[in-house]
Amino acid sequence: MNTSVTLAGITFKNPVTTASGTFGSGMEYGEYVDLSRLGAVTTKGVSNVPWPGNPTPRIAETYGGMLNAIGLQNPGVDVFINRDIPFLRKYDTKVIVNVVGKTTEEYCEVVERLACQDVDMLEINISCPNVKEGGIAFGQDPRCVFEITSELKKRAKQPIIMKLSPNVADIGEMARAAEAGGADALSLINTLTGMKIDIHRRAFLLANKTGGLSGPAVKPVAVRMVYQAANAVKLPIIGMGGIASAEDALEFIMAGASMVAVGTANFINPTATLEVVEGIEAYMGQYGIEDINDLIGCVK
């Protein structure tokens, strides 16, 4: 049985990674899951300097999902290089580093700092709904998507994955813009912008007012967008959005994703990633599937 997949020339032992921001740099979950069992670890977003993130409350539960407005808190690229890359390199897994910035220059700086580092791919977050500048501002206009993709592609030594926002009218248009800019792969979806109001306090639940909706509630939207993006471009896609089980993951794969990422489910079940890996193998065994690649995009 072959579970390995190849994206942009990088081969992953299986198609399962983590969704950025839900897994730190793997340290906390390393106590629960053998990280070497994962196809890749995708890290929390890394910026050029440390970012303190948003005020609290940063978290609100919603029906079948949750809102977060962490605000991309992270220790900055220097600490990341000195502490987190060596930690992740102890494991037999690929490392995908999520990159964030407020301006094109900031994204470029991080990509350049990572150029000589031992990481496998870069995932460019142009879709975070929780920071005022940067983030999603780059991801909602196809011209901006094209420009930042081509700027980063000039500087990156690793293949780049553009992480797309679902908060757009036409995901296919954004996917094509990233492809035209030279992206090596796409990942989607980031969170959907949402809001929750506490009617007893007559106030917003989140200090940031809005937050990103994730969890099982968003899965059908995510599957649909992965399908549309897969039909719009030739690039390989990492699909995510509400994946909590192998069954969920297989929907994304059949919709056209070459890899899948487990996100919010990690918060509810620290071993969710491993269960998805094992569940995909069990499904392949059950249906006599020799190669996972035969399932990618099999539902037309």
Partner 1 sequence: MSVAMKRKTVITENVEIAKDIYSMWLNAPDISREARPGQFVSLYCRDRSKLLPRPISICEINKEQGKIRLVYRIAGEGTREFAGMDAAEDMEAMGPLGNGFTLEGKKALLIGGGIGIPPMLELAKQLSCEKQIVLGYRDITFLEKEFEAYGKVYISTEDGSRGTKGNVIDAIREESLDADIIFACGPTPMLRGVKAYATEHKIKAQLSLEERMACGIGACLGCICKTKEVDHHSNVKNKRICKDGPVFYAEEVEL
Question: Which residues form the catalytic set?
Answer: 128
Contact pick of 129, 139, 181, 215 for partner 1 (by CB under 8 A)? 215
Asked whether the beta carbons of 195 and 184 are under 8 A apart, the reply is no
Number of residues that bind partner 1 (CB under 8 A): 38
Q: Is 70 in the site for partner 1 (CB under 8 A)?
A: yes
Q: Please tell me the distance from the alpha carbon of residue 191 to that of residue 204, in angstroms, as a whole number.
A: 18
For the CB of residue 53, give the shortest distance to partner 1 in the complex, in Å. 7
Cβ atoms of residues 98 and 80 within 8 Å: no
Which one of residues 2, 11, 28, 247 is an interface residue with partner 1 (CB under 8 A)? 28
Stretch that binds partner 1, among 26-34, 121-129, 136-144, 183-191 (CB under 8 A): 26-34
Residues 6+ apart with CB under 8 A from 167: 127, 129, 136, 139, 140, 192, 193
From candidates 113, 270, 279, 283, binder to partner 1 by CB under 8 A: 270
What are the E-state strand segments in 88-224? 94-99, 121-125, 160-163, 185-188, 192-195, 197-198, 203-204, 210-214
With CB under 8 A as the contact rule, the residue among 2, 36, 64, 282 that binds partner 1 is 64
The closest alpha carbon to 27, from 15, 18, 246, belongs to 18
Piece in contact with partner 1 (CB under 8 A), picked from 45-53, 89-97, 104-112, 169-177:
45-53
Distance CA 62, CA 86 (A): 37
Query: Least distance (Å) from partner 1 to the CB of residue 48?
Result: 13
Q: Which of 61, 118, 170, 291 is the binder for partner 1 (CB under 8 A)?
A: 61
Give φ, ψ of 290 to 5 degrees. -80, -35
- The piece of 5-13, 74-82, 103-111, 139-147 that touches partner 1 (CB under 8 A) is 74-82
Place of tokens 């011209």: 143
- Amino acid at site 67: L
Choose between 13 and 58: whose C-beta lies nearer to partner 1. 58
Binding site for partner 1 (CB under 8 A): 21-24, 28-29, 31-32, 44, 50-53, 56-61, 63-66, 68, 70, 73, 75-76, 79, 215-216, 264, 266-271
